[in-house]
Structures are given as structure tokens and as C-alpha cells.
């Protein structure tokens, strides 16, 4: 078994890039639906982005169109995650596949659901038809032909580092479009290579492990990606992330588990 240590800076750079690149426009992140009946007139657009928001916000749900709203109705995002994925080192989307993201907003609740499917089954009409069967936050739209795991639509150069990138990407896609608790979990984690010294830690293991991110090459070209993070919101904890990959696939079997908790200060 061969082990490759990965510089922490590489993980942090990937995580930061994805969190910046996978950003929703304001009209989708915090939509405010403007019914025509209220007489509200939006300000004149000052850019092409504003013009796009105007077209998407200037209608009612009764129009039967998938529009951003904060009234508990799933809608289709304009943002294509493929644009970001294809910019990652060592990874790209398989030919003839497409990604799409659905969003749900209701007061403080914000949920995102990203899917991958064949382009032949991913026209706008086909993607929006799935909205008719999704009316609850726990039951997101599932277009016909959706892959069981969106990472099955990812290909790459099969280098060890590409699997580390895939591990960060999968966690970011799982929370893309999510807001608040408990929807956002991974976004509250920061990758680490050593236990932060600002806290005293109660370890579940006999001793503090080596927290440097690493990639292990197993027989038959299987990979294990291991890295660690600190959850920076209460309860503050150090987590281990283990992803095992089979040859030729970026679909992982994953374990995310806490290894230590920050000791509570005496009141």
C-alpha cells in the first residue's frame, strides 16, 4: 500500500474555489416573489444579470412556470454546476451528461438538490416536468433518468489527487443551494492538518492521530482518501472523512465521523 500526503493548502484552495464558484444569484438564494396583483414595480435593470432576474421574478406561480419563490415550491436553478466542475484539476463531466440543481425556499428553510442525467433526458421541459411530482422539502424533484449518484457522471485523469478533489466536490454539491441548519453541515467545516490549539480536545481515540490529508493506493487500483476537518459551529468537533473509490469510478463509499470534541468551558 502506497500513501501520498497531500498539502493542506491544496485542500483549502479547492474548498474555497468551490464555495465561491458554486454561488446562486440573489434572486434564487433569497427569492422574493412579486405577484403582479400587488402593483409592485421592480427597478429598471442596470445589467444583463438584472435583466435575467427581472424575467424570472416578474411572474406569478399561477403562470405554471418554474420561478424562484420563497413559498415552499421547488424550482429549477439557472446555475449550471458543470461550468464549475469542468474547471477543476483532473476532473470533468462525462460527454453527453448534464447537471441540474433544484431549489426549495420557505422562510428560513433553504434546500438544494443537484442531479445528473443524460443530456437526451435533460431538456428544460423534461427537468421542469419533475416539479409536478415534488411538493415537499423531503421529496425533491427526480427527473426521469436521474443517476443514483451524481458523481457517476464525473470522469477524470485517475491521478490520486483527482480523487481528493472529487471528495471535496461531492460534499460541496450535496450542500449547494442549502441555507441554515440543519441543511448546511459541511459548509461549517474547515479542512485541517493538525488539531486547532485554541481548544482542549476530548479524543475518542487513545491518542491524537496524524491529521494530515492523505491518499492511499490499494491493490487493484482502488483509492482511499482520508482527510480531517474542524466543525467551527457548536458543538465544535474534529471529524475524519474516509472515501473509498473503486478503479475507474469517482463514486465513493464514505464515512464521516467525529474523532474529538472541544471541551466546554466551566461556567
Beta bridge partners of 243: 225, 254
Digit-coded pLDDT (tens) for 82-100 = 999 999 999 999 999 999 9
Is it the case that residue 109 has pLDDT exceeding 90? Answer: no
pTM: 0.86
Digit-coded pLDDT (tens) for 8-34 = 999 999 999 999 999 999 999 998 744
- Residue spans of the domains in the chain: they are 7-37+67-175, 187-262
Is it the case that residue 181 has pLDDT exceeding 80? Answer: no
Parallel/antiparallel/unpaired status of strands 91-93 and 2-5? unpaired
Phi/psi of residue 98, nearest 5 degrees: -140, 150
pLDDT band at 64 (very low <50, low <70, confident <90, very high): low
Sign of CA dihedral 23, 150, 133, 111: negative
224, containing H or E segment: strand 222-231
Region of 42 on the Ramachandran plot (φ > 0 left; ψ -120 to 50 alpha; else beta): beta
Strand, helix or coil at 30?
coil
The pLDDT value given to residue 250: 98
Tell me the C-alpha distance between 13 and 5, whole Å: 16
Strand, helix or coil at 147?
coil
Amino acid at each position: 500500500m502506497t500513501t501520498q500526503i497531500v498539502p493542506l493548502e491544496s485542500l483549502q484552495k479547492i474548498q474555497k474555489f468551490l464555495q465561491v464558484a458554486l454561488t446562486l444569484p440573489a434572486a434564487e438564494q433569497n427569492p422574493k416573489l412579486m405577484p403582479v396583483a400587488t402593483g409592485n414595480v421592480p427597478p429598471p435593470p442596470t445589467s444583463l444579470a438584472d435583466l435575467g432576474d427581472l424575467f424570472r421574478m416578474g411572474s406569478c406561480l399561477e403562470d405554471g412556470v418554474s420561478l424562484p419563490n420563497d413559498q415552499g415550491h421547488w424550482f429549477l436553478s439557472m446555475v449550471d454546476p458543470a461550468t464549475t466542475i469542468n474547471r477543476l484539476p483532473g476532473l470533468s463531466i462525462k460527454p453527453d451528461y448534464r447537471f441540474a440543481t433544484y431549489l426549495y425556499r420557505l422562510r428560513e428553510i433553504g434546500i438544494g438538490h443537484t442531479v445528473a442525467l443524460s443530456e437526451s433526458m435533460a431538456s428544460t421541459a423534461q427537468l421542469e416536468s419533475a416539479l409536478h411530482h415534488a411538493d415537499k422539502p423531503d421529496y425533491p424533484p427526480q427527473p426521469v433518468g436521474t443517476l443514483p449518484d451524481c458523481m457517476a457522471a464525473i470522469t477524470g485523469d485517475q491521478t490520486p489527487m483527482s480523487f481528493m478533489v472529487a471528495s471535496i466536490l461531492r460534499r460541496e454539491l450535496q450542500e449547494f443551494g442549502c441555507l441554515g441548519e440543519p441543511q448546511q453541515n459541511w459548509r461549517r467545516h474547515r479542512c485541517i492538518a493538525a488539531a486547532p490549539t485554541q481548544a482542549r480536545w476530548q479524543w475518542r481515540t487513545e491518542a491524537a492521530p496524524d491529521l494530515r490529508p492523505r491518499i492511499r493506493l490499494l491493490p487493484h487500483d482502488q483509492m482511499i482518501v482520508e482527510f480531517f476537518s474542524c466543525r467551527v459551529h457548536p458543538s465544535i468537533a474534529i471529524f475524519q472523512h474516509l472515501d473509498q473509490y473503486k478503479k475507474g469510478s469517482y463514486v465513493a463509499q464514505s464515512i464521516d465521523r467525529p474523532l474529538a470534541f472541544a471541551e466546554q468551558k466551566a461556567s
